[in-house]
Amino acid sequence: MAYPIEHPVAYLPEPTRLGRLTARLVARTPRWAAPLSILVCFLGAGAYVLATDPTDSAPDAMPSCLIKLTTGFDCPGCGGTRAFWYVLHGNLPAAARHHLLFVFALPFLVYTYLAWAGRTALGWRLPMLRPSPRAIGLLIAGWAAFSVARNLPWTPFTSLYV
């Protein structure tokens, strides 16, 4: 005779005061809060980059890449802050010189944010970008190859060194 297997009831602890407060705040948060928060963060990052001017700083001055400072190698994001500074000043060739993939990805990232924020906060119906896993894999592989190539000390690759 087979007995049915009884599944134990999962024990869920009673939420704490902080948990209840957080749940209430999340339930009352307006739809536009998340897109606005991200926009404020990016505006803050832009203000920081404009205030520090990473193109005129010494190699060990702020803002500095910790990996480049300690190892001497360009990390996968190295040059991104300077590229962002040049984009904010409208100099796309100089931005591409410092981080080509940042300049390539920027229009896609901006459009994706606008489509999501417009849909979330304003009800817009812009088509969302839906990259395939293969496209994402190719982008990551390209970023990895770019990161390795910019650290090679031979003639065609030295132009990628920032």
Cis amide linkage into residue 76, ω under 30° from 0? no
Structure tokens given for 30: 């307006």
Structure tokens given for 53: 């001017």
Residue 46 has pLDDT above 80, yes or no: yes
Residue 64 has pLDDT above 60, yes or no: yes
Global model pTM greater than 0.75: no
| pLDDT for 100 | 84
**E strand residue ranges, 27-158:** none
| pLDDT for 7 | 61
Higher-confidence residue: 1 or 84? 84
Q: Is 99 exposed, middle or buried, given 0-12, 13-18 or 19+ CB atoms closer than 10 A?
A: buried
